[in-house]
Structure 1
């Protein structure tokens, strides 16, 4: 972390964040303004950055441990979709006021757990104090073999669209985080409701799927702003059309129960964000090999649609009829 004049900030950095950088020699114990990273031999560096902010991506009373985990997980998810192996990350924190020691301890523990799960270390960053809600910016660095970066804009007509994991859990979890009484309307018991809220609070990037993405996908991206919106982004970048078959969209048991009790929630499943699953376009002749590789990695994948000629994105509902999904998905700057 960049040093400043106040002893208070220096002490906070050394006590809270320097231990998180111990596994990365180029961080120099967070005693320098910059870090040093040498790319592994034969590899290209992959860079991504995402910020999470109080009131937008998390609630003020969420546990510090969960906030830290989410801040790192959403960035690692981007690396996974590129087929990249995580290496290190930079962290920029903007506090409205100095946090108390208990909050910092929880935040450090959340980052430590996420680092251990995702295989990377803190390399540096910055802390400051400014008016406004807590904001956490992460820049993550990964590596892929030279020339093998999996873009989002290289899908081809005929490619099959695969989705990792299950869809909509986080969006439904957000509804429950906002109003736990909705669990009864969704037909959910307490265990199922907590499982959905957990998917919202603590995204689980499919790190073990990255080698299969690297080997078999012609294009890929993570699903962070909703399947419909992100599939549209992939299709537009690639100059192809896409069709999503709603009946093939994978649902967890709690999400399936919720949709069966309230069919309108399927629109939330399709357009809600925060899933951080991977959407991959795979050539038909490589689809079986991709399925096998995903299964060996321990990650479930489901074929949910196909790319075609043209540039439109269509979605068939669970009954096969076309859905009106215009404008579906999260947008920080809606028209």
Structure 2
């Protein structure tokens, strides 16, 4: 009996057409040509960012591909949220060890779920064979002169952080077998790690309120150091004001919860400074968006000096360590 014919292997271009070609919302020419054609709206500046995720460095090789598709785009969306920009276009470059159709289909499903959530067109990219590496360049728009940078903070401005920093770090510790959590806490922490929720609406609403801002990707204190450097300020962070309750409820002890909030990465929450006179506006914004905003300290006039205020009022030096790819 003759054997069945072997199915033809999909080419690079077949994979792109099948999994990464979608109708676009606001792109004149997208996937399928030598370059995309984009049209920025009048009065807008383009905000552009690139992030790369590498297997074994940024994610486990066995990470669910749909979650990975979501996160690959979400971490880039968060960069635009941190500048008060609206994401519009993304370009995806993939290095894949092999053309695994099921894996690619699940990855694309997660990626487009994130794109649809935030109104983003996939406008182009590239694929090649190689160690699993995922790279996105994202473009967004922000009204001329309205972008929130890291450089606008001033002594006396209050420090705020959104949501629940530290959950992703606790999720990573769980996956690495460093801590055991109850089922509900484990699921919530792993979801924070694998499916971060970029704060786009918050970033846009903070235009004109926040003086300096970034997203927490490499640890709160480490990332705060970038604001201090760019704004030429120092900071005092109040330990008693840190949002620890959710981590304690998930199963972390007090010491681990504190370490995760101050030093854990992958949260993609927004850390920002704002004048003390705008405190009521920020609290009102928190209620309107349904996003907890925690006032955790203030900027000071001592450039580069980061201190922690303990619950008893003592000031101790704060370590500005964060994740370093070459550390």
Using the size of structure 1 for normalisation, the TM-score is: 0.90
Matches within 5 A, 1:22-41: 22-28=24-30, 30-41=31-42
Unmatched segments (≥5 aa) in structure 2: 1-8
Do the aligned residues in 2 keep the contact of 1:240 with 1:308 (CA within 8 Å)? Answer: yes
Q: 1:32 to 1:319 in 2, by over 3 A?
A: farther
- Residue 211 of structure 1 aligns with which residue? 204
- For 1:318 and 1:273, the matched residues in 2 are separated by 24
Displacement, 1:195? 0.7
SS at match of 1:71: helix
Residues of 2 paired with 1:176 and 1:83: CA distance?
33
Contact 1:168 1:255 in 2 (8 A): no
Q: Which residue of 1 aligns with 2:169?
A: 171
Distance in structure 2 (CA, Å) of the matches to 1:71 and 1:160: 32
Cα pair distance change 1:266/1:326, threshold 3 Å: same
1:310 is displaced (CA, Å) by 1.1
Q: Which residue of 1 aligns with 2:50?
A: 49
The reply on whether 1:197 has 2:198 as its aligned counterpart is: no
- Aligned partners of 1:51 and 1:274: how far apart in 2? 13
Task: Identify the residue that residue 18 of structure 2 maps to in structure 1.
Answer: 15
Q: Deviations over 1:274-310 (max 9, x none)?
A: 0100011101111211221232122210101100101
Q: Does structure 1 residue 301 correspond to structure 2 residue 298?
A: no
Conserved 8 A contact 1:159-1:281: yes
Alignment of 1:246-261 (within 5 A): 246-259=239-252, 261=253
SS in 1 for 2:207: helix
Contact 1:258 1:265 in 2 (8 A): no
- TM-score with structure 2 length normalisation? 0.92
For 1:8 and 1:257, the matched residues in 2 are separated by: 46
1:255–1:18 distance in 2 versus 1, CA, 3 Å: farther
Query: Structure 1 residues 323, 103: CA separation in 2 closer, same or farther (over 3 Å shift)?
Result: farther
Matching residue of 2:282: 290
Report if aligned partners of 1:167, 1:252 keep a CA contact under 8 Å in 2.
no
2:81 matched residue in structure 1: 80
- Provide, for residues 244-295 of structure 1, a one-character-per-residue CA deviation record: whole Å limited to 9, x for no partner: 1121112352445544x35244223211100100011101111211221232
Corresponding residue number in structure 2 for 1:267: 259
Corresponding residue SS for 2:155: coil
SS in 1 for 2:93: strand
The equivalent of 2:126 in structure 1 is 126
CA drift of 1:212 comes to 2.2
Given the superposition, is the C-alpha separation of residues 269 and 165 from structure 1 closer, same or farther in structure 2, using an over 3 Å criterion?
same
Distance 1:251 1:307 in 2: 22
Distance change in 2, residues 1:57/1:249 (3 Å): same
**Aligned pair count?**
318
Question: Any conservation in 1 of the 2:166–2:247 contact (CA below 8 Å)?
Answer: no
- Number of the residue aligned with 1:182: 179
- Once the 2 structures are TM-superposed, how far is the Cα of residue 177 of structure 1 from its aligned partner? 1.1
Encode CA deviations 1:209-234: one digit per residue, 9 max, x unaligned. 02222130111111110000011110
More helix by share: 1
> 1:10 and 1:22 mapped to 2: Cα distance?
19
Alpha-carbon offset, residue 189 of structure 1: 1.6
Residues 247 and 319 in structure 1, CA contact (< 8 A), matched pair in contact too: no
